[in-house]
Each structure stands twice: as C-alpha cells, then as structure tokens.
C-alpha cells in the first residue's frame, strides 16, 4: 500500500489541496466543479475549523483531505446546539475505493469527539456515507431549516451514541459555501488551474435525484 500519513493541513498544503479538490470533484456533481474555490475561501470563514482539516499523504504526496465547518441544530423552543459538517472530503481519483475516505472520516471524527462535538451532518450522496454510520435525517428527526422537509441527501452521524434524543431539530448549515454564488469569482479562480473540459456524467443526475427528493415515510 505504501507509506500512509495523516496530519493537519498547513499553509504550504493549500494549493495542493485545492488541486486535489478540483481533480476529485471535476464533473462529478455538475459539469466542472466549484469545490476548489470553496476550499480556497472557507479557510478565511469564521465557521471553518482548522483543527479538523486533515490531509492524507501516500509516500509523501497528498492524496486525500477532509475539511469541516461548524453547523447548528435548533429545537422547537429555539435552543441551539453547535454541531459539525464536513466537506469537501476528497480522495484522488486514482486512489478512490481504497478506504482512504474511511481513514479520513474516522481520524477526524476521533479528533472531533476530543473537541466535544457529538453530531456531524452532511448533505451528500448516501452511497458514500451509509457504511460510515450515517443515517437518514428522518430517523433522527432532523429537518432542513429552509424547507422543513427531510431531504434524501441530508445524513446524520452521531459521533456519540444517542447524542440526539428524538426531539425535532432544524438543521442550519454554515453560510461558508455561499461564496460559490459569485460565479465570476469561481470562474476566475478556476482559470488559475490548467484548462479542463466540463462534461456531463451520470453521477450528476444521481445527485440531482438525491438532492431534490425527500424521505416522507
Ligand atoms: C467520496 C470519496 C471521498 C470516498 O473516498 P474513497 O476513499 O473512495 O472511499 P472508501 O474506499 O473509504 O469507501 C467509501 C464507501 O463508498 C462506497 N463504495 C465503495 N466502492 C464503491 C463503488 N464502486 N461505487 C459506489 N460506492 C462505492 C462504499 O459504501 C464504501 O464503503 P464500504 O466499502 O466500507 O462499504 C471519494 O470517492 C471522492 O473523493 N469522491 C469525489 C468527491 C466527493 O464526492 N466527495 C464527497 C462529497 S463531500
């Protein structure tokens, strides 16, 4: 397998992580990708948690990384609980499906528990997460604050068993990813990387279905 090391990201890693992110996400969820711009911006956002930004090196080269922001749950009385949300999580395409993603999730969850966090919520493709302890938000009674529904792609992982007690919670994500709404800035940043063709892939339709549907029963 080679020599695997997992450690916190440093400033010297920034560009390599952005290149990796672009490579891992390119054409997966949309033609092209925004996630490398998100990574570039999120490090300056107050919700970013540098203590949980890990890189995975294989023989000294970065082949994976995970980054987190704060997020929140709010109950019906208005009580707020700070939780985590990770993403981007990336593994270099040529090294995917070798459990590197699993290593990054498990190592960072361990660190997160040490910081006192007990819940992580992600909006993503269930296939990537259900074998890592994530369940549908419906099962934990966590709805999406904006629409009050239970999106198929909204997945909850309790870092501490039974951290959620069954009461109704609304999930409030960080606004850190809103930077990607500035399309001119995303495109200008992407232009600093080698040109690459944007194309349709079936995974884009798969994610459209997950992200536009809800669990109702
Ligand atoms: C998602 C990603 C991070 C997973 O990392 P990875 O190292 O490839 O994943 P792992 O080897 O740890 O396995 C992840 C899980 O994917 C699923 N999986 C494995 N092989 C699969 C395949 N051929 N097709 C679909 N799902 C598969 C399984 O659930 C697997 O867990 P299990 O084998 O323990 O049951 C990586 O594929 C990636 O970077 N993808 C592009 C970017 C992305 O989508 N990131 C996540 C959104 S933030």
Domain CATH number, residue 15: 3.40.630.30
* 64 falls within a domain: yes
Question: How many C-alpha atoms does 4 have within 13 Å on its Cβ side?
Answer: 15
Tally of domains within the chain: 1
Strands 154-158 and 61-75 come out as unpaired
DSSP code, position 34: S
What is d(CA 131, CA 134) in angstroms, rounded to the nearest whole number?
Answer: 7
* Cα dist from 112 to 51, 86, 106, 148, 158, whole Å: 9, 11, 10, 28, 11
Domain that holds residue 11: 4-177+201-211
Q: Is the peptide bond before 201 cis (omega within 30 degrees of 0)?
A: no
* 26 falls within a domain: yes
- Ligand 1 atom closest to Cα of residue 100: 7
Ligand 1 pocket, Cβ-based, cut-off 6 angstroms? 24-25, 28, 87-91, 96-102, 124, 127-128, 131
Separation of CA 11 and ligand 1 centre (Å): 27
- Ligand 1, atom 4, residue with closest C-alpha: 101
- What's the predicted TM-score (pTM) here? 0.96
What is d(CA 189, CA 90) in angstroms, rounded to the nearest whole number?
Answer: 19
pLDDT per residue rounded down to tens, the chain (217 residues): 789 999 999 999 999 999 999 999 999 999 999 999 999 999 999 999 999 999 999 999 999 999 999 999 999 999 999 999 999 999 999 999 999 999 999 999 999 999 999 999 999 999 999 999 999 999 999 999 877 899 999 999 999 999 999 999 999 999 999 999 999 999 999 999 999 999 999 999 999 999 999 999 8
- Ligand 1, atom 12, residue with closest C-alpha: 99
* 192 falls within a domain: no
18, 97, 154: which to mutate for ligand 1, most atoms within 8 A of CB? 97
Phi, psi of 196 (to 5 degrees): -150, 140
What is d(CA 95, CA 43) in angstroms, rounded to the nearest whole number?
Answer: 25
């Amino acid at each position: 397998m080679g020599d695997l090391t997992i450690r916190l990201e440093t400033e010297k890693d920034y560009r390599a992580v952005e290149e990796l992110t672009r490579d891992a996400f390119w054409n997966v969820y949309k033609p092209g990708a925004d996630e490398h711009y998100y990574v570039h911006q999120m490090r300056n956002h107050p919700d970013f948690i540098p203590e949980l930004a890990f890189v995975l090196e294989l023989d000294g080269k970065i082949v994976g990384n995970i980054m987190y922001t704060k997020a929140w749950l709010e109950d019906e009385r208005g009580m707020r609980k700070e939780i985590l949300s990770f993403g981007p999580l990336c593994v270099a395409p040529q090294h995917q499906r070798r459990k590197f993603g699993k290593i990054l999730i498990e190592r960072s969850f361990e660190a997160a528990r040490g910081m006192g966090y007990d819940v992580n919520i992600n909006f993503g493709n269930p296939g990537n997460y259900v074998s890592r302890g994530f369940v549908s938000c419906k099962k934990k009674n966590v709805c999406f604050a904006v629409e009050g529904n239970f999106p198929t792609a909204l997945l909850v992982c309790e870092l501490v068993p039974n951290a959620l007690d069954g009461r109704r919670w609304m999930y409030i994500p960080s606004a850190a990813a809103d930077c990607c709404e500035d399309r001119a800035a995303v495109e200008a940043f992407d232009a600093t990387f080698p040109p690459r063709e944007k194309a349709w892939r079936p995974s884009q339709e798969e994610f459209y279905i997950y992200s536009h549907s809800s669990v109702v029963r």
